Structure 1
Amino acid sequence: MVGTTPEYSQKRSGAYFTPDDVCAALVAWACRKPSDRMIDPSCGDGRFLALHRNSVGIEQNPISAHTAIKRAPGALIHEGDFFTWATETHERFECAAGNPPFIRYQHFKGETRRRALDLCLDLGASFSGLTSSWAPFIVATAGLLKRGGRMAFVVPAEIGHAPYAAPLLDYLVQSFAKVQIVAVRDKLFPALSEDCWLLYADGFGGTASAIDMTVVDSFVPTRTPPKPTLRVDLEDWRGVWNRRLRPYLLPASARALYAATLGRPDTHRLADFASVGIGYISGDNQFFHLRPSEAKKLRIPVGFLLPSIRNGRAMPDAQVTKATVADWARNDDPVLLLRLARDIELPKSVRDYLDSAPGREARLGYKCRNRAPWYVVPDVQIPDYVMSYMSGRGANLVRNMAGVSCTNSVHAIRVRDKALAAKLMPGWSSPFVRLSCELEGHALGGGMLKLEPREAGRIAFPAVATRPKAETEALEDAVTVMQRWRHYAD
């Protein structure tokens, strides 16, 4: 993509142009005859439009729009905001194809987001404010189709797990006779960490009885959508699998084994007996976390210092003990949180540190300047367990035997039912629980597994961790499958 202004940077605008073979396949899936009128709601440089002359494209980036006009001279290009155009136009289309921009909710905001969400609500899809841009693009495009229309899009693999993907999929199955997801393990965009799948929907105005899925390792261009490898029962998708498609990447036998265990009354979710939250946000980690040598040099009293886990890399394998903290001290790691309380007399050494150059700089930060007093870090707690937020091979859970605290880079686990926790927590390393982490979490890119607090709370613990050898092997294989899909085991 050409363009140097921040507004139209690739990252901000979500514009990463699609490989030619993917473009050709999606246009072939959507367009059945030359007279079909096709729309690309975010046409970029026009590479979809160039494959079908009877096309309309909308593009907000003026430089990309100019490139599209030259690349696809037979197409009609509108420069501007798609949601404004979609609200105002009376034109309708036989088909649609494209690669809608993937703009995360932090940048998909303001008037553009309001128009997008209002339009989708009018069409019957209700999205939250945490929705990324591509999902409303698809709904708004579907609203421009003629009865019986079709569409084929590149979509982020987030369609398989993101909460905002659920209302999108619900809308699609209620609006099309056929909805198909093509899950591609290999990256469609090798230079991006984001995984992408393909979406095909046909028969606008109808209703789908299931979601068809095609699970493949590699994308192979075809003139028609590939045959489904399985059909997703909508009741199971909504109930057993919490409106996620990621579990359908597993073999049916592994899925059935996992679902049967979930259905047992003695299987519990982590949230049944513990609360999962994030640790504290200091506002300036470098200022508020001291090395033992620094604390000694500054003469900070021990009573104002609390050992803390700053990130997942600092977590040991099983438990944090006093020996762990002693190792941190020997390594002179910056793990001592400056923990100050309101309305107490501070020693001169602490006041001097707060008034030092680093202190004067720290208090100007957003978090610090919006709390009073600025130097009191809120929400400091002593969790019973600490869980990694982002992980490689698998999520790590450690018992907090040393009374340390933790930052928001990891999860703080507070046990409510100690008896149930004592019974179930030893099964953490079992293949079933590790598979549950894979299914409830999601790929972040670079092979990382990310578990949001709500996702972590859904991790399932069976009452009996030991299983027959065949079942154990099947679950282990399933863990490997999910790791390969997030590119950890490649």
Structure 2
Amino acid sequence: MVAISPEYSQKRSGAYFTPDDVAASLVAWACRRPSDRMIDPSCGDGRFLALHRNSVGIEQNPVSAHAAIARAPGALVHEGDFFTWATETGERFECAAGNPPFIRYQSFKGEMRRRALDLCLDLGARFSGLTSSWAPFLVATAGLLKPGGRMAFVVPAEIGHAPYAAPLLEYLLSSFGTVQIVAVREKLFPSLSEDCWLLYAEGFGGSADTIDMTIADRFVPTKSPPRPTLRIALDEWRDVWNRRLRPYLLPASVRGLYAAALDRPGTHRLSDFAAVGIGYVSGDNSFFHLRPSEAKRLRIPAAFLQPSLRNGRAMPSDRITAATVAGWRSKDDPVLLLRLTRDAALPAPVRDYLDSSAGREARLGYKCRNRAPWYVVPDVQVPDYVMSYMSGRSVNLVRNDAGVTCTNSVHAIRVRDAALAAKLMPSWSSPFVRLSCELEGHALGGGMLKLEPREAGRILFPAPGTAPRSETEELEAAIGSMQRWRHYAD
């Protein structure tokens, strides 16, 4: 057995090999003639290369590279970093196909990321440092095509919502005559939490005036790209939907209702009257959160303890009240944050706790050792509302009547315009606002809906009369559809 370096592990390298029928379809879409030269920028074990004899593959994992050579003996396989190779080569190709590695920005770092982003910038695509690796892979691959070239790739469904998908799509639209997204609801990789769609682009050197989108419940192998379900006007995609494709999974009538609400006086986004942020990061939750019995035993004064909502599971359905906090205390949950300030005089019990073995261990953690003093938890606030960060059937928003603080496992909502909040917040559970949560958020593994703070700020509260009762059934059906796309209702 060949030992695999940790840097080439499946998780670190983002290598999850493509089902044969998907690979065969993508190669058929991209390659029109046997003489077409095809490139796979991250060829893995060579299953794309084996489907088209006149191929070149790049693979950084030496084990996979040798497997590709064995699987596709007629292909040329280069072992090494694709971005280095793409910067140095003068070769150009008629077509490209593959499955780029899905490496999150936390692992897509160092010299590889610098080379990738610099190369993309030279080609006309500007990505932030928070981009995942697959988007630069596609831009760099497109830059190796001959005029008129074609490409067909597996892509994460993030292409429908991630901020870094916007510069990728803008680059593709300005570089290809046709850009098509095939959204597939059933998982292409059943063992992964990641949903995947398909991308096809042709006519390199041209420009597209629409995004073609095909919406399918399941993948069906074909020898040519499927017919588009709709052609998306670029102005609408940019101006109405903030360069996101997920809303186009819904019927045109629902999208029209939502878009019409945007233009009506009296419609507001959550960010118009409230600030959405995350709660505090303690640096060591087990040390900084005490159980009531523990605080009593240690004789920590109540003045240094702040009741805290630790996670979304502890949220009630409507309000956090004194009775809610009393319930946490009666269960002896670790809900008391040790809240110390920089200049406070610390009583002996607090100093003893800070100097205990648990305290000596806590101060060695990354967050604690990089702040001064280490025991002061920053950004502790008392929000007006708290919102679930990841949700199942619906996003939970509760009023904070008890004055608790919260960790970064939920969102902290601070109201700026109390009158507008009082007018709009009662509609939170309405079908329109619940659909807005689905549209502005995005799917996460396990069927969950995730709302980043910037996404939560875009949640739409329609002007009165925007969604009459006659449209309730259609809105509820749309919510159910979005839940099925994120596999919550599967």
Return the alpha-carbon distance in structure 2 between the equivalents of residues 122 and 336 of structure 1.
52
Counterpart of 2:49, as a letter, is: L
User: Aligned pair in 2 of structure 1 residues 167, 335: CA closer, same or farther (>3 Å)?
Assistant: same
Counterparts in 2 of 1:309-348, with a 5 A limit?
309-348=309-348
Counterpart of 2:71, as a letter, is: R
2:271 maps to 1:271? yes
1:308 counterpart residue number? 308
2:412 maps to 1:412? yes
1:119 counterpart residue number? 119
1:294 counterpart residue number? 294
2:105 maps to 1:100? no
213-222 or 338-347: which moved more?
A: 338-347
SS for the counterpart of 1:429 is coil
Counterparts in 2 of 1:23-62, with a 5 A limit?
23-62=23-62
Task: Please give the per-residue CA displacement for 1:413-460, whole angstroms capped at 9, x wherever unaligned.
Answer: 000000000000111001111111111110111001110010000001
Return the alpha-carbon distance in structure 1 between the equivalents of residues 465 and 315 of structure 2.
24
Counterpart of 1:281, as a letter, is: V
2:223 counterpart residue number? 223
Measured after TM superposition, the shift of residue 258 of structure 1 is 1.0
User: Aligned pair in 2 of structure 1 residues 143, 466: CA closer, same or farther (>3 Å)?
Assistant: closer
Measured after TM superposition, the shift of residue 6 of structure 1 is 1.3
Return the alpha-carbon distance in structure 1 between the equivalents of residues 465 and 14 of structure 2.
44
Return the alpha-carbon distance in structure 2 between the equivalents of residues 388 and 196 of structure 1.
26
Return the alpha-carbon distance in structure 2 between the equivalents of residues 484 and 448 of structure 1.
11
2:1 maps to 1:4? no
Give yes or no for contact 2:273–2:415 (8 Å, CA) kept in 1: yes
Give yes or no for contact 2:322–2:401 (8 Å, CA) kept in 1: yes
2:64 counterpart residue number? 64
Return the alpha-carbon distance in structure 1 between the equivalents of residues 238 and 319 of structure 2.
36
Counterpart of 1:321, as a letter, is: T
Give yes or no for contact 2:39–2:97 (8 Å, CA) kept in 1: yes
Give yes or no for contact 1:3–1:9 (8 Å, CA) kept in 2: no
Give yes or no for contact 1:321–1:401 (8 Å, CA) kept in 2: yes
Q: Any runs of at least 4 consecutive aligned residues in structure 1 with deviations exceeding 4 A, and if so which? A: none
User: Aligned pair in 2 of structure 1 residues 424, 2: CA closer, same or farther (>3 Å)?
Assistant: farther
Task: Please give the per-residue CA displacement for 1:87-121, whole angstroms capped at 9, x wherever unaligned.
Answer: 11111000000000010111111111111111111
Measured after TM superposition, the shift of residue 351 of structure 1 is 1.1
Counterpart of 2:302, as a letter, is: V
TM-score, normalised with respect to structure 2: 0.99
Give yes or no for contact 1:2–1:64 (8 Å, CA) kept in 2: no
5+ long unaligned stretches in structure 2: none
2:389 counterpart residue number? 389
SS for the counterpart of 1:131 is coil
Return the alpha-carbon distance in structure 1 between the equivalents of residues 75 and 398 of structure 2.
59
2:482 maps to 1:486? no
Return the alpha-carbon distance in structure 2 between the equivalents of residues 349 and 74 of structure 1.
74
Give yes or no for contact 2:142–2:151 (8 Å, CA) kept in 1: yes
2:378 maps to 1:352? no
**% of aligned pairs identical?**
82
SS for the counterpart of 2:428 is helix
1:142 counterpart residue number? 142
Measured after TM superposition, the shift of residue 469 of structure 1 is 2.7
User: Aligned pair in 2 of structure 1 residues 465, 362: CA closer, same or farther (>3 Å)?
Assistant: farther
Counterparts in 2 of 1:411-430, with a 5 A limit?
411-430=411-430
Task: Please give the per-residue CA displacement for 1:454-487, whole angstroms capped at 9, x wherever unaligned.
Answer: 0000001113278433311111111111110000
User: Aligned pair in 2 of structure 1 residues 467, 207: CA closer, same or farther (>3 Å)?
Assistant: closer
Measured after TM superposition, the shift of residue 349 of structure 1 is 1.0
Give yes or no for contact 2:30–2:151 (8 Å, CA) kept in 1: yes
Task: Please give the per-residue CA displacement for 1:357-401, whole angstroms capped at 9, x wherever unaligned.
Answer: 111100100111111111111111000000111111111100000
1:167 counterpart residue number? 167
SS for the counterpart of 2:152 is strand
2:177 counterpart residue number? 177
Measured after TM superposition, the shift of residue 20 of structure 1 is 0.4
2:372 maps to 1:375? no
SS for the counterpart of 1:446 is helix
Measured after TM superposition, the shift of residue 206 of structure 1 is 0.8
Measured after TM superposition, the shift of residue 3 of structure 1 is 5.6
Return the alpha-carbon distance in structure 1 between the equivalents of residues 429 and 386 of structure 2.
15
User: Aligned pair in 2 of structure 1 residues 3, 205: CA closer, same or farther (>3 Å)?
Assistant: farther
2:457 counterpart residue number? 457
CA RMSD of aligned residues (A): 1.1
Return the alpha-carbon distance in structure 2 between the equivalents of residues 107 and 101 of structure 1.
11
Counterpart of 1:384, as a letter, is: D
Return the alpha-carbon distance in structure 1 between the equivalents of residues 37 and 463 of structure 2.
57
Measured after TM superposition, the shift of residue 264 of structure 1 is 1.1
Return the alpha-carbon distance in structure 2 between the equivalents of residues 226 and 114 of structure 1.
36
Counterparts in 2 of 1:234-273, with a 5 A limit?
234-273=234-273
Task: Please give the per-residue CA displacement for 1:203-257, whole angstroms capped at 9, x wherever unaligned.
Answer: 1011111000000010000000000001111000000000000000001111111
2:129 counterpart residue number? 129
Give yes or no for contact 1:183–1:197 (8 Å, CA) kept in 2: yes
Return the alpha-carbon distance in structure 1 between the equivalents of residues 394 and 175 of structure 2.
38
Measured after TM superposition, the shift of residue 345 of structure 1 is 1.7
Measured after TM superposition, the shift of residue 13 of structure 1 is 0.5
Task: Please give the per-residue CA displacement for 1:303-334, whole angstroms capped at 9, x wherever unaligned.
Answer: 11100001111111111000000100111111
2:446 counterpart residue number? 446
Give yes or no for contact 2:4–2:63 (8 Å, CA) kept in 1: no
Return the alpha-carbon distance in structure 2 between the equivalents of residues 49 and 423 of structure 1.
60
Q: How many residues align?
A: 490
Task: Please give the per-residue CA displacement for 1:181-209, whole angstroms capped at 9, x wherever unaligned.
Answer: 00000000000000000000011011111
Return the alpha-carbon distance in structure 2 between the equivalents of residues 372 and 366 of structure 1.
12
Measured after TM superposition, the shift of residue 142 of structure 1 is 0.4
